[in-house]
A = this chain, B = another copy of it.
């Protein structure tokens, strides 16, 4: 390992000067800079992150925590995070928190001892406890979830998005629209989306029909069964995740009915999954990659480290593909 001292020796300057040119500070002549740079190149010098971090109490790591790392939603957000992080010269550290933030505190502790520059929490709320373990020196924010104005976050307006989705279906002529929700007790977004659905249905004087799965593929068929046993005449199903929507599409066809002719299906999130099914899913798109990018940008821009940036709402967008159609009579 070549150190700053080696470079200093070769360049005929002090380590302090090398440090200054490496960090682009002031206080050296152009020719000194050149000598130092040559020495750096010659020795293939690379500053030691650990020593630097120890001294400056900051490293270029950004933590990303997701309930489960292999799911499509989290993956796409992480992808955006990675891109933005690399762009700004940061590294990303990955952690799985488990469905109910079980491991979150432990990861956060680790991240703190690494003196991370910030942490991004996917699909989970920042609890006061989390804030506490992080201390005041590392900002944290949530992505793809929000809870009023209480903590720093980046998300779409889930309530309005679900409202819009429901309105879209109504606009298509559907009257008997079932909602296939995720688990509303544990996942906040589901509560908001359900509220949006209910509002749209109520405003249109339609009867809500609602069942919950757990957002994953396998939970959808049974939930769809329950939905249909509540109202066998449903002409549209709004599923609150693309995986469930995909399952609905497949299940409906398996039952011998057609999508979208007999039943329209609307998904949520616009993950890759929405294209993996035929017909491809109409869905409410969240700008997932963009959210990841924005999250790191806002984190890095945060000045008052103690409580991060204010909540921000991103636009959602309805994408119409083949799984929805107008219903006439």
Q: Are A50 and B46 in contact (CB under 8 A)?
A: no
Determine whether the beta carbon of A92 is less than 8 Å from that of B93: yes
Interface presence of A43 (CB below 8 A)? no
How would residues 61 to 79 of chain A score, 1 for a CB under 8 Å from any chain B CB and 0 otherwise?
A: 1001000111110011011
Residues in chain B near residue A54, CB distance under 8 A: 48, 50-51, 54
Residue in chain B with minimal CB distance to A253 = B278
Asked whether, in the complex, the Cβ of A49 is within 8 Å of the Cβ of B114, the reply is yes
Report how many residues on chain A are interfacial, defined by Cβ distance under 8 Å.
51
| Pairwise interchain contact B69-A79, C-beta atoms closer than 8 A | yes
B109 touching A46, Cβ below 8 Å: yes
The interface stretch among A155-163, A269-277, A311-319 is A269-277
Residue in contact with A276 in the complex, picked from B61, B71, B277, CB distance below 8 Å:
B277
Using a CB-CB cutoff of 8 Å, which residues 40-99 of chain A contact chain B? 46-51, 53-54, 59, 61, 64, 68-72, 75-76, 78-79, 82-83, 86, 91-96
A293 is an interface residue with CB less than 8 A from chain B: no
Copies per assembly: 2
Residues in A250-269 with C-beta less than 8 Å from chain B: 250-251, 253-254
Q: Nearest Cβ distance between residue A101 and chain B, in whole angstroms?
A: 14
| Residue in B closest to A273 when the chains form the complex, CB atoms | B276
Cβ of A167 under 8 Å from chain B: no
Nearest-neighbour CB distance to chain B for A308, whole angstroms, equals 20
Q: Does A168 contact B (CB under 8 A)?
A: no
Distance in Å: Cβ of A161 to nearest Cβ of chain B: 22
CA distance A217 to B277 in the complex (A): 11
Judge whether B78 and A69 touch: CB under 8 Å: yes
Interface string of A299-325 (1 = CB under 8 A from B): 000000000000000000000000000
Is B96 a contact of A50 with CB atoms below 8 Å? no
Is A103 in the interface zone, CB < 8 Å from B?
A: yes
Answer yes or no: A113 CB below 8 A from chain B CBs: yes
Q: CB-CB < 8 A to A127: which residues of B? A: none
CB pair B68–A79 under 8 Å, yes or no, is yes
Decide yes or no whether A112 CB sits under 8 A from chain B. Answer: yes
Closest B residue to A54 by beta carbon equals B50
Q: Are B69 and A86 touching (Cβ within 8 A)?
A: no
Q: Is the CB of A75 within 8 A of B86?
A: no
CA–CA, A251 and B71, complex, Å: 25
- Say how far A98's CB is from chain B's closest CB, in angstroms: 10
A207 within 8 A of partner (CB): no
List 11 extra interface pairs beyond A49-B114, A69-B79, A71-B75, CB under 8 A: A46-B113, A47-B113, A69-B78, A69-B82, A70-B79, A93-B93, A217-B276, A246-B276, A247-B276, A254-B278, A277-B277
